[in-house]
Each structure stands twice: as structure tokens, then as C-alpha cells.
């Protein structure tokens, strides 16, 4: 079989490599996420110091901060259509060409997460594969999941042959590969201490569809029944903890895999959208980016892969990049999406130590920049630009915001402790002086101090009570906002459903052909998105308004308690609310997304225009009202999280103040001992020594707290700088 | 080559057959963008007639047919026709219903090609037009790139055609020469056979197609004395056997 076309059609060797201009190679750069990692390590070191120093009241917050600092990794999802080179891209990005199996056919069948130094400790197992549970498998094997549900909704009783055939193939293949009793494997998770290429091939490669009969020597392929894979690596090529998520491509004719991928797109910090230079930005790609749009604005990097396959990589890559940029600007005018072109495959060759052969040798020479027939300079693989773009995006991601939140929360704790300690110092000084003068004066002072403390405590308790009131306020605000949000979104869905139904009925009555008719729900999705975001902003503003109303009152109380207190906790924190909001519900596949094929069946089934219209209205409502519910739920969750965080901070401060009061009360008790007449010279000396020790301890504490304060302020300034720097670029 | 190339051979009445026998085989070339459609068209024509530019994609359907003189005509949406040049087309200034390229090529005496714009940019109207073009063709060549073969979007479009139209379809696997390993071609073919085989007459690489056409022509020349329908010539069973 010859696949070479007549050679004159090539335009000579045009589609092969020609000399091209050197693209400026980025200078030797830091590993990915280095600036954030520095901030993270500084916070971690500080946490160690603070854990011993801050009182019991701070423990839950410190624990939470510690957990986040240790465990939170930056999640980077690599997505794109089938055969765009996602897996090759990951292999090159992590500097291990050939680690994840790749193939000429769609090969990645399982969503796999690669964890790089993201846990507290390296888990015992390097690879964990979770197989589908029996229920999940049954759902897939019998129903085909969501797609089946959608087609059933559209054309009840209609059996989509294609899906049925695919599911049967999947089932029988599993039986062939794993034996008739393969169902016994379901629900299990398989763990391994080391990662080997064979292992990955067994669990995450689609496997050769035509491979017949598994003999004992042949390895078993579990990919059809594997739900997810987690791989843990000791050595990380990145500075910051990173979890890379490799996905099977979208636009896969194997429907089941397409479903799995869509489900895995839940809220990563960064999306890397891999395109093939040969088919850059098709309608399917744009649709995908549209789904990711909305709040994920600053989270998308587009990588145009496989430029090595262009006729003239040097020139064409620039043209493709420009046209992709233009198209993106047109489709998403408000979005800034970095677009980078290159070749992950070449990047892999560059680092591969294996001797290359054939075409690979040709390219290797090219990459090396020597020995090429054209004496061409090195081709930029785009990988270092991608690395730089990731680092830059991380500095502006939810991760950076999280570090900022942790740092400013710690700063609050430190400041309130600082205030407590200086109040203690002041008190001890006063008492000390009074003791030195005369008993009466001391008595008076102690009485004053006790009265002050009692008042202080009453106020602190009042403060706590007002927190409860604040919480109730928040609850009411969220509750009423939630109802408004729901009714607004529902009315958008209903209006759209009605309009579409009327339009369809009118079209049928006017005899318009329904052959290629489709109900386009993109406007509905974007209307929902806009209304959702606007309404959420309003709701968030309401919450902030509650905060702004209540905080000044608290401010008065606290400044009475601690005149020297200069924290900011009592100003509404400015954590960006929208950052944690999820729009993933909007990406749910609905009946309307089915292609013309299914709709043809639908039109065949019913007669009257009115009936068609009515049916369409019901379909749209059935599909979108649950999505509205999901969106409302997500909004409420996000607001509650914010409120919880605010309250947690506030109550940690309050507890800190109360424990300060406790300290001072003990001091008073010690000082009051001579007044009770049980004081002799020896115990007086002992007491004084004790007091001096206490004062010294307080002074030390104050010094450390001040140092921590400065460190935290400098970390925060650094994070601010990173953000504004990447925003400027 | 006559219109009866792929089917109908037995059913047509004599007069119709005679009328049809004078018409060249209508070949529609369709596929997603950058799947090598124009490249394939040039291959079938045996020369670089149509510009294959990576950047300016084919925007309107291009009909290539026999003409005494070589000329390019743009048919506007209102039905009017004007002379055009490929430079204008590449510059993107040509808007209209279709381009008509006439050529005095002997190959076009039995062949009329329609090169269609790439699918996959979400243009439903264009998709509808391409469906119409496929419907009225005698042979539909669906181009799929060996490097990214057979996506769901391709399958969806192909299945939206009626079985009658699909029955005229060949799946042409382009860019096979860019595969990195020799065994890859066979593997891609195996997958296509499994996933798309049922929906096409046959799956071929361009070279096979060129080969078949050349042989068919040869056969026709040899058998021209006898009743020469390609459908019965020894070379076509390979093309037709599904």
C-alpha cells in the first residue's frame, strides 16, 4: 500500500521542513511557579513559628492554613480535541518524553491526574487506578449515561444505534480483554508502588481495538473500566506543587469517552487548550472555549501544537498564531488569552537521549541547529514560552489569591496577639510601679484593673454575640438573594423556551424546511451567564453591605478594648468573591446540543406545528431549569464560604482578645497576693522573679510577633507585586 | 466513465443512459478544514490547478470542469457571472455562490470536480449547501487527515447525509505521508475500518485512488471498442467493493 501521493503535488518537498527564522528562545528561566513557591515556603516557615507562639484560639485557623499550604496544588488541565497532542505536550512539559503512552490513534482513554509534590508526604503508592463501580458501569453499559438520557428525552423509545453498538463493543471488548468475570473487578482500586510504561498502557491507553484474544502472555487492558488514574511523582520539574490533568480528547467519535472528558473539567486553576496547527480553532474548539469562558477568563492558555507538520513551520506558525488570535479576539472580545505556537513532539526529541532514526533524526538535527541539510537554526518548540505563561498565570490565579488570604489572615492573628501582649505589658508595668509605692495604691490599681477587665470581658462577649447577629444577617441576605437569583434565571429560561417554541411553530406553519433545523441555545447560555454573574455581583455587594454596616460598630468596641490595636480585620475583607464561583453547570450537555441527526427523528415523530412548539418548550425547560438550580446552589455555596471565612477570622480575633483578658486576670491575681497578707519576703522575691520572667516572655513574644508581622507584610507586598506585574504584561 | 459508475447501472432506461453517458462523473470532495481536499482535487487533476494555501481556506465551492479555454468565473449570489483570478480569490475579495474553473485538460472529459469549503467552522448554511452538493454528486470523496482522523464532528456531518448519498462515499485518508512511523498507516486504517467502515463504500489512501483512476482510464481506452462502462471493467471492483 503506497501512501505517497504523486510527488509533484507536494510542491517539491514543501510540506517538509524548510529553513525558517529563529524565534527568540526565552533565556534560561526559572522552573514553573517559582515566584509563588517562594511565597509559599515563606508562609510555611512562618506557620512553624506561629504554631508554638499563638494561643489555643488560633489553632483551628492555623491547622486550616497549614493544610492549604501543604496540600493545595495548582491544578492544570490539558484539554483539546482528539489527536491535538495533549499527552505528548504533558510528556514534554514534565521532561519525560514517552512517559504517558501516545499513539497515532486516539489513545488516552482515562482522565489521569499527575501529582507533582502536591501532598504533605509522598503517598505509599505511586499509581492508583480507580475502576468504575458496578453502578457506574451498569449505567454506562446499559444506558450510555447522559447522551442516552438526552436522546431518550428527544425521541422517546428511539434506540441510538451508534451508541448501542459502541457500548456493546466496549462491553465485549472488556470481556475479551479481562475475561468473562471482568465485572468482579468493578468498584476496586488498583495500587502500585512504581510507575512503569506497561502499567500506564494497561490502564490509560485505549489499546488496539483489533487485538484479538488475550493469551496469558499478553497484558490485560483495563482502560475501558478505569474511571480515573492518579500518579504521584517524587521528583518534580516544577517549583510549585502542580497537578497536571491529562484528558481524553473531545470530539471523539467514541461517545463514552467524550462524556468522561466533559465531566473532568471541574474547576482547574489553569486550562491549557491544545490545538493542532493543521486544524486550528474549529467550531468545536470555539464551542469548548465558550464553555470555559465566563469566570475562567484568566485561566486559558492556547497552545498551537504540531507546527512541525506545517509545510513551512517558521512562516506558517506565525500566520496560524495570528489567525487564531484574531479569531479569539472576535469571538471573545473581553478575554486575553495567551496564544503560543510550537511543537511538543520536537520539544520531546530535544530532551530525549535516545538516538533518533528516520524522520526523527531529521528533526533532531533541526532542533539541535546543526547538521541539518538546510543548516537551519533551531526551531522554537514553544515549551519555554508555555512555561513562562503558566508561571505568569499562576501569579494571578486562585492559588495566588489563596496565599494572599492565608497571609492576611495570619497577619490579623498576629496583630491581635500583638495588641494583647502590649496590653499585658502595660498592665504589668502599672501594677509593678504601684506595688513599689504603697499598698493602698496597689489595692486601688488592682480594683481598677479588675473592674476594667470585667468591662472588657463583657464587651468581648458582646462582640461575640454580635457575631451571631451578623451571621443571622448574612443568612437572611443570602436567603433572599438566592430566591431572587433563582426566579430571575428561571424566567430567562422560560422566556427563551417560549420564544423558541413560537418561532418554531411559526416556521413550520410557514412551510420552512426542518431538514437542517437546530435550536441554538448558545444565546440562552450566554444570557444565563451574564444574568448570573450580574446577579451574583449584586448579591455579593449585599453581603459586603451587611459587613460594612456591622463592621464599624465592632470597630468601636474593639478600639475601646484595645486602644493600640491597628488591625484591618474589622474592615470588610476584600477577597475577590467571584474567584471561587463555578460556572461548570452551564457547560452541561443538553438535548439542544444534539446534532441535526437526532432532530430529524424528532420532527418525524410529531405532526402539528403547535405540538412541536410545545414539545420544544418543555424540552428546553426540562434541560435548563436543573442547570439554574445548580447555578443557584453554586452561588450560595460560594457566598457561604466567604461568610464562613469572614466569621472565622472575626471570631479568632475575638477569642484572641478573650484569652488576652485571661492572661491579664492571672497577672492581677499574682499581684494581688501581698494584699491577702500571705506574703513573706521569700515568696515576694519569688513572685517578683516570676513577674520579671513574665515580662521578659512578653517582650520576647512581642519581638517575634513584630518580626512575623513584618515578614507577612512583605509576603503580601510581594504577592501584590506579582499580580500587578502579570496584569501589566 | 459514466454516471452509472457506482449504481443505477441496471435500472436506467436506454435514452437516459445515453444522455448520461455524455455527462462526466460528478465528484464532490468534502471534509473538515485543512483535511487536504484541494490537495486531493489537484491530485485527481494531475496538476496544481487550484491554489492550496494553508492560510486562505477555500471559501466558496469550486467547480472544475472541461472547457475549451482555461478560465475562472465567479458566480455571484444574484446569479450574475464575472471573470475572476486566483489572486483575487486568495485575497478574499471574491464573494459569491461558486467559482467555476474551466480547463482544457483531457482528464476533465470524464470528470467534473467540486471542491467544497472546509466544514467545522460552525457555518450551518454552508453545511447545508455542501449537503446539497454531495446529494447531486455521483461520487463523494470525504477527506480525513491521517493525523487526526475521524472525529465526532466528521461523523455527525456524514451521518446527516441520507444512506443513498453515503452509499456513494469513499473515505480518503490524506496526509498519510506525514505519519511518523511506517506501521502507523495500517493502524489508522484499522481504526477507521472499525469506526467508520460501515458508513463508506471503502476507505482509501489518495495514492490508491489516483491509481484506480489511472487504471480505469487505461481500461476505458482498451475497452472503448466494446460497451465500456467502468462499472464493469476489471479495475472497479476494488473501488466499489464495500
pLDDT digits (tens, 9 = 90+) for A596-624: 666 777 777 766 778 888 888 988 898 89
Q: Please tell me the distance from the alpha carbon of residue A84 to that of residue A94, in angstroms, as a whole number.
A: 18
| 8 Å CB contact of A104 and B34 | no
Distances (CA, A) of A409 to A419, A648, B5: 16, 10, 78
Give the β-pairing of A300-305 and A270-276.
parallel
DSSP 8-state class, residue A464:
H
pLDDT at A729: 56
Taking CB atoms and an 8 Å cutoff, what residues of chain B touch A18? none
Average pLDDT, chain A: 77
> Counting Cβ atoms within 10 Å, is residue A401 exposed (0-12), middle (13-18) or buried (19+)?
middle
User: Which residues, 6 or more positions from A696, have their beta carbon under 8 angstroms from its beta carbon?
Assistant: none
Chain B hits for A359, Cβ within 8 Å: 180
CA-to-CA distance for B220 and B227, rounded, in angstroms?
A: 9
Most A CBs within 10 Å, among B130, B178, B212, to test the A interface: B178
A8:B185 CB<8 A: no
**Could you give the CA distance from residue A490 to residue A614 in angstroms, rounded to a whole number?**
18
Lowest average pLDDT, out of A462-471, A588-597, B93-102, goes to: A588-597
Q: Nearest CA of chain B to the CA of A483: how many Å?
A: 37
CB proximity under 8 Å: A 424-483 to B: none
What 8-state DSSP symbol labels residue A400? Answer: H
> A590: buried, middle or exposed (CB in 10 Å: 19+, 13-18, 0-12)?
buried
Distance of CA A618 to the CA centre of its chain: 35
Which residues of B are less than 8 Å from A596 in CB distance? 156, 160
| Three-state DSSP state, A301 | strand
Quick check: A295 pLDDT over 70? no
- Whether residue A363 lies within 8 A of chain B, CB to CB, comes out as no
Q: What is the nearest CA distance from B45 to chain A, expressed in angstroms? A: 10
Nearest CA in chain B to A313: B54
Interface list for A 231-260 with B (CB within 8 A): 251-255, 258
Q: How confident is the model at residue A20 (pLDDT cuts 50, 70, 90)?
A: very low
Q: Are A25 and A386 in contact (CB under 8 A)?
A: no
Residues of A in Cβ contact (< 8 Å) with B199: none
Residue bearing the bigger pLDDT, B198 or A550: B198
Q: Determine the 3-state secondary structure of A88 from DSSP.
A: helix
Chain B contact for A286 (CB, 8 A cutoff): yes
Q: How confident is the model at residue A356 (pLDDT cuts 50, 70, 90)?
A: very low
For residue A310, which residues of chain B lie inside 8 Å, CB to CB? Answer: 54
Mean pLDDT across A357-369:
50
Q: Is residue A483 predicted with pLDDT exceeding 60?
A: yes
Q: What is the pLDDT of residue B233?
A: 37
The whole-number average pLDDT for the span A351-360 is 55
CB pairs under 8 A between A and B: 141
The whole-number pLDDT of residue A550 equals 66
Q: Do B34 and A360 make contact, defined as CB atoms within 8 angstroms?
A: no
Q: Which of A412-421, A533-542, A708-717, B65-74 has the lowest mean pLDDT?
A: A412-421
Dump pLDDT digits (tens) for A189-213.
889 988 888 888 888 887 765 554 4
Which of B124, B151, B152 is closest, CB to CB, to A516?
B124
Annotate A294-332 with b (16+ C-beta within 10 A) or e (fewer): bbbebbbbbbbbbbbbbbbbbebbebbbebbbebbeeeb
**A339 SS3 class:** strand
Question: Which chain B residue is nearest to residue A601, measuring alpha carbons?
Answer: B160
CA distance A184 to chain B (A): 28
Contacts of B90 in chain A (CB under 8 A): none
Reference A388, options A342, A427, A456; nearest CA is: A342
Q: Give pLDDT, residue B57.
A: 61
- Cβ–Cβ < 8 Å for A379, A313: yes
Q: What is the ipTM of this complex?
A: 0.75
Using an 8 Å Cβ cutoff, are A573 and A646 in contact? yes
The lowest-confidence range among A315-329, A537-551, A704-718 is A537-551
- pLDDT higher than 80, residue A679: no
> B150 to chain A: nearest residue by CA?
A253
Q: How far is B122 from chain A (nearest CA, A)?
A: 5
CA distances from A134 to A89, A140, A226, A256, A560 (A): 34, 10, 12, 16, 63
Rounded to the nearest angstrom, the minimum Cα separation between B191 and chain A is 7
Euclidean distance between CA atoms A586 and A262, whole angstroms:
12
Q: Which residue has the cell 443570602?
A: A478
Q: What gap in Å lies between CA A125 and CA A389, rounded to an integer? A: 32
pLDDT of residue B133: 93
Contact B173, B204 (CB under 8 A): yes
Give percent of chain A above pLDDT 70. Answer: 74
Q: Is A587 left (phi over 0), alpha (psi -120 to 50) or beta?
A: alpha
Among A61, A49, A36, which Cα is nearest to A710's?
A49
Give me the pLDDT at residue A607, please.
Answer: 67
DSSP assignment of chain B, as one string?
A: --GGGSS-TTTS-HHHHHHHHTSPEEEEEEEBTTSSHHHHHHHHHTS--S---SSS---S-EEEEE-SS-EEEEEPTTS-EEE--HHHHHHT---SSEEEEEE--GGGGSEEEEE-PPB-S--HHHHHHHHHHHHT-SEEEEEEEGGG---HHHHHHHHTS-HHHHTTEEEEEE-GGG-SSTTHHHHHHHHHHHHHGGGSSEEE-HHHHHHHHHHHHHHHHHGGGS---GGGSTTHHHHH--
For A222-351, strand residue ranges (E) read 226-233, 242-246, 270-276, 300-305, 339-341
pLDDT, mean of residues A442-450: 82
B171 interaction partners in chain A (CB closer than 8 Å): none
Report the range out of A158-172, A256-270, B60-74 with the highest average pLDDT: B60-74
Least confident of A311-320, A552-561, B139-148: A552-561
Closest listed residue to residue A576, CA positions, set A382, A396, A383: A396
Higher model confidence: residue A247 or residue A149? A247
Owner of C-alpha cell 518524553: A97
Q: What is the predicted pLDDT for the residue at B123?
A: 75
Instruction: List chain B residues with CB under 8 Å of A320.
Output: 54-55
Taking the C-alpha atoms of residue A602 and residue A506, their distance in angstroms, rounded to an integer, is 17
Question: How high is the pLDDT of residue A479?
Answer: 92
DSSP state of A10: G
Q: What's the rounded Cα separation, in Å, for the pair B33 and B118? A: 4
Q: What pLDDT is stored for residue A670 in this prediction? A: 76
Chain B CB contacts of A602 below 8 Å: none
CB atoms within 10 A of CB B75: 18
pLDDT at B127 over 90: no
Chain A's closest residue to B145, CA to CA, is: A278
User: By mean pLDDT, which of A158-162, A364-368, A441-445, A531-535 is the weakest?
Assistant: A364-368
Is the pLDDT reported for residue A566 higher than 70?
A: no
Q: Name the one residue in this structure whose C-alpha cell is 444522455.
A: B19
Taking CB atoms and an 8 Å cutoff, what residues of chain B touch A283? Answer: 120-123, 153
pLDDT above 70 (res A538): yes
Task: Pick from A162-176, A262-276, A320-334 the range whose average pLDDT is largest.
Answer: A320-334
pLDDT reading at A661 higher than 90? no
With CB atoms and an 8 Å threshold, state whether A208 touches B46.
Answer: no
* Contact across the interface for A516 and B48, Cβ inside 8 Å: no
Instruction: Determine contact: A326 vs chain B, CB below 8 A.
Output: no
pLDDT greater at residue B22 or residue A24: B22
Q: Give the model's pLDDT for residue A1.
A: 37
Cβ atoms of A533 and A295 within 8 Å: the answer is yes
Most confident of A46-60, A147-161, B155-169: B155-169
C-alpha cell at A219: 497484558
Query: Cβ contacts (< 8 Å) between B149 and chain A: which residues?
Result: 83
Minimum distance, in Å, between the CA of residue B147 and any CA atom of chain A: 7
Distances (CA, A) of A497 to A510, A518, A614, A726: 20, 14, 9, 42
The pLDDT, as a whole number, for residue A17 is 34
Which whole number is the average pLDDT over A454-480? 83
Partner-chain contact A279 B32, CB within 8 Å: yes
Q: Tell how far CA A278 is from the center of its chain.
A: 30
Q: Coil, helix or strand for A582?
A: coil
Mean pLDDT of B150-176: 88
Q: Which of A198-207, B13-22, B194-203 shows the lowest mean pLDDT across its residues?
A: B13-22
CA distances from A667 to A416, A469, A492, A687 (A): 19, 33, 65, 11
Neighboring chain A residues of B191 at a CB cutoff of 8 Å:
105, 209
pLDDT band at A654 (very low <50, low <70, confident <90, very high): confident
Whether residue B239 is predicted with pLDDT greater than 50 in this model: the reply is no
Closest residue of B to A210, CA-based?
B190
Selected for mutation to probe chain B from A87, A104, A151, A521 (highest B CB count within 10 Å) is: A104
A283 and B121 within 8 Å at the Cβ level: the answer is yes
| pLDDT over 80 at B187, yes or no | yes
Flag whether the pTM goes above 0.80.
Answer: no
Task: Estimate to the nearest angstrom the gap between the alpha carbon of A601 and the chain centroid.
Answer: 40
Position B232 pLDDT exceeds 70? no
How many percent of chain A have pLDDT more than 90?
12
CA–chain centroid gap for A45, Å, is 25
A11: pLDDT strictly greater than 60: no
Amino acid at each position: 500500500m503506497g501512501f505517497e501521493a504523486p510527488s509533484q503535488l507536494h510542491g517539491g518537498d514543501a510540506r517538509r521542513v524548510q529553513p525558517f527564522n529563529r524565534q527568540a528562545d526565552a533565556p534560561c528561566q526559572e522552573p514553573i511557579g517559582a515566584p509563588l513557591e517562594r511565597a509559599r515556603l515563606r508562609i510555611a516557615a512562618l506557620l512553624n513559628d506561629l504554631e508554638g507562639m499563638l494561643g489555643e484560639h488560633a489553632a483551628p485557623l492555623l491547622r486550616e492554613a497549614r493544610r492549604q499550604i501543604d496540600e493545595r496544588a495548582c491544578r492544570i488541565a490539558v484539554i483539546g480535541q482528539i489527536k491535538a497532542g495533549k499527552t505528548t505536550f504533558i510528556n514534554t512539559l514534565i521532561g519525560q518524553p514517552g512517559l504517558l503512552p501516545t499513539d497515532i490513534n486516539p489513545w488516552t482513554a482515562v482522565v489521569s491526574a499527575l501529582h507533582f509534590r502536591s501532598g504533605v508526604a509522598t503517598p505509599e503508592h505511586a499509581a492508583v487506578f480507580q475502576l468504575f463501580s458496578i453502578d457506574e458501569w451498569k449505567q454506562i453499559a446499559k444506558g450510555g449515561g447522559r447522551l442516552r438520557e438526552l436522546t431518550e428525552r428527544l425521541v422517546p423509545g428511539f434506540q441510538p444505534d451508534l451508541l448501542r453498538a459502541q457500548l456493546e463493543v466496549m462491553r465485549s471488548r472488556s470481556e475479551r480483554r479481562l475475561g468473562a468475570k471482568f465485572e468482579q473487578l468493578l468498584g476496586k482500586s488498583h495500587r502500585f508502588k512504581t510507575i512503569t510504561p506497561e502499567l500506564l498502557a494497561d490502564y490509560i491507553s485505549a489499546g488496539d481495538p483489533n487485538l484479538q484474544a488475550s493469551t496469558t502472555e499478553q497484558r490485560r487492558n483495563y482502560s475501558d473500566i478505569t474511571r480515573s488514574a492518579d500518579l504521584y511523582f517524587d521528583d518534580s520539574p516544577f517549583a510549585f506543587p502542580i497537578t497536571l490533568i491529562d484528558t481524553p480528547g473531545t470530539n471523539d467519535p467514541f461517545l463514552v469517552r467524550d462524556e468522561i472528558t466533559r465531566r473532568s473539567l471541574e474547576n482547574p486553576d489553569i486550562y491549557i487548550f491544545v490545538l493542532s496547527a493543521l486544524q486550528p480553532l474549529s467550531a468545536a474548539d470555539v464551542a469548548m472555549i465558550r464553555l470555559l469562558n465566563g469566570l475562567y477568563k484568566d485561566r486559558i492558555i492556547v497552545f498551537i501544537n504540531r507546527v512541525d507538520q506545517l509545510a513551512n513551520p517558521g512562516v506558517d506558525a506565525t500566520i496560524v498564531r495570528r489567525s487564531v488570535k484574531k479569531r479569539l479576539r472576535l469571538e471573545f472580545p473581553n478575554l486575553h488569552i495567551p496564544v503560543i505556537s510550537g511543537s511538543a513532539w520536537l520539544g520531546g526529541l530535544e530532551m530525549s537521549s535516545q538516538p533518533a532514526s528516520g524522520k526523527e533524526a531529521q528533526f533532531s538535527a533541526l532542533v539541535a541547529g546543526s547538521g541539518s541539510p538546510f543548516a537551519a537554526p533551531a526551531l522554537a518548540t514553544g515549551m519555554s514560552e508555555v512555561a513562562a505563561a503558566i508561571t505568569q498565570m499562576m501569579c494571578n490565579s486562585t492559588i495566588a489569591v489563596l496565599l494572599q488570604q492565608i497571609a492576611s489572615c495570619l497577619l490579623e492573628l498576629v496583630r491581635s496577639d500583638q495588641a494583647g501582649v502590649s496590653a499585658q505589658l502595660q498592665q504589668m508595668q502599672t501594677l509593678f510601679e504601684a506595688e513599689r509605692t504603697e499598698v493602698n495604691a496597689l489595692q486601688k490599681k488592682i480594683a481598677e484593673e479588675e473592674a476594667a477587665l470585667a468591662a472588657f470581658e463583657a464587651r468581648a462577649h458582646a462582640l461575640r454575640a454580635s457575631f451571631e447577629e451578623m451571621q443571622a444577617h448574612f443568612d437572611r441576605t443570602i436567603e433572599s438573594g438566592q430566591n431572587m437569583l433563582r426566579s430571575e434565571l428561571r424566567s430567562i429560561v422560560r422566556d427563551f423556551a417560549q420564544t423558541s417554541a413560537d418561532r418554531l411553530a411559526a416556521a413550520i406553519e410557514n412551510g420552512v424546511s426542518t431538514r437542517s433545523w437546530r435550536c441554538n441555545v448558545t444565546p440562552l447560555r450566554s444570557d444565563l451567564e451574564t444574568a448570573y454573574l450580574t446577579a451574583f455581583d449584586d448579591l455579593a455587594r449585599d453581603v459586603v453591605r451587611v459587613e460594612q454596616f456591622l463592621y464599624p460598630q465592632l470597630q468601636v468596641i474593639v478600639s475601646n478594648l484595645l486602644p493600640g490595636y491597628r488591625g484591618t480585620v474589622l474592615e470588610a475583607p476584600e477577597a475577590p468573591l467571584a474567584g471561587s464561583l463555578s460556572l461548570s453547570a452551564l457547560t452541561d450537555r443538553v438535548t439542544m446540543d444534539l446534532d441535526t441527526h437526532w432532530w430529524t427523528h424528532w420532527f418525524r415523530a410529531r405532526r402539528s406545528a403547535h405540538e412541536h412548539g410545545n414539545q420544544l418548550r418543555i424540552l428546553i425547560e426540562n434541560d435548563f431549569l436543573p442547570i439554574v438550580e445548580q447555578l443557584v446552589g453554586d452561588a450560595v455555596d460560594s457566598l457561604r464560604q466567604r461568610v464562613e471565612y469572614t466569621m472565622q477570622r472575626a471570631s479568632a480575633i475575638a477569642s484572641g482578645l478573650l484569652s488576652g483578658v485571661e492572661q491579664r486576670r492571672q497577672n492581677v491575681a499574682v499581684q494581688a497576693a501581698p494584699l491577702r497578707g500571705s506574703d513573706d519576703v521569700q515568696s515576694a522575691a519569688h513572685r517578683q522573679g516570676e513577674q520579671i520572667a513574665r515580662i521578659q516572655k512578653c517582650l520576647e513574644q512581642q519581638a517575634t510577633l513584630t518580626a512575623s508581622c513584618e515578614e507577612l507584610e512583605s509576603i503580601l507586598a510581594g504577592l501584590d507585586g506579582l499580580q500587578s506585574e502579570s496584569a501589566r504584561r | 466513465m459514466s454516471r452509472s459508475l457506482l449504481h443505477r447501472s441496471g435500472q436506467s432506461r436506454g435514452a437516459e443512459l445515453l444522455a448520461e453517458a455524455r455527462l462526466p462523473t460528478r465528484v464532490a470532495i468534502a471534509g473538515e478544514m485543512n483535511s487536504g481536499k484541494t490537495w486531493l482535487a489537484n491530485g485527481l487533476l494531475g496538476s496544481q490547478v487550484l491554489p492550496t494555501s494553508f492560510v486562505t481556506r477555500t471559501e466558496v465551492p469550486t467547480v472544475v470542469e472541461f472547457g475549451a479555454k482555461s478560465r475562472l468565473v465567479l458566480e455571484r449570489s444574484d446569479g450574475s457571472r464575472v471573470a475572476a483570478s486566483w489572486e483575487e480569490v486568495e485575497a478574499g475579495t471574491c464573494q459569491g455562490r461558486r467559482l467555476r474553473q474551466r480547463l482544457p485538460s483531457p482528464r476533465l472529459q470524464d470528470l467534473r470536480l467540486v471542491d467544497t469549503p472546509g466544514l467545522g467552522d460552525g457555518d450551518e448554511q454552508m453545511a447545508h449547501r455542501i449537503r446539497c452538493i454531495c446529494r447531486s454528486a455521483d461520487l463523494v470523496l470525504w477527506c480525513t487527515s491521517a493525523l487526526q482522523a475521524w472525529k465526532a464532528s466528521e461523523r455527525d456531518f456524514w451521518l446527516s447525509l441520507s444512506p443513498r448519498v453515503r452509499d456513494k462515499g469513499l473515505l480518503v485518508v490524506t496526509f498519510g505521508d506525514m505519519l511518523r512511523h511506517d506501521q502507523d498507516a495500517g493502524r489508522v486504517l484499522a481504526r477507521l475500518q472499525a469506526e467508520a467502515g460501515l458508513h463508506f463504500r471503502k476507505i482509501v489512501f489518495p495514492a490508491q485512488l489516483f491509481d484506480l483512476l489511472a487504471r480505469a482510464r487505461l481500461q476505458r481506452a482498451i475497452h472503448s471498442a466494446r460497451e465500456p462502462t467502468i462499472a464493469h471493467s476489471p479495475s472497479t471492483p476494488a473501488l466499489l467493493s464495500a
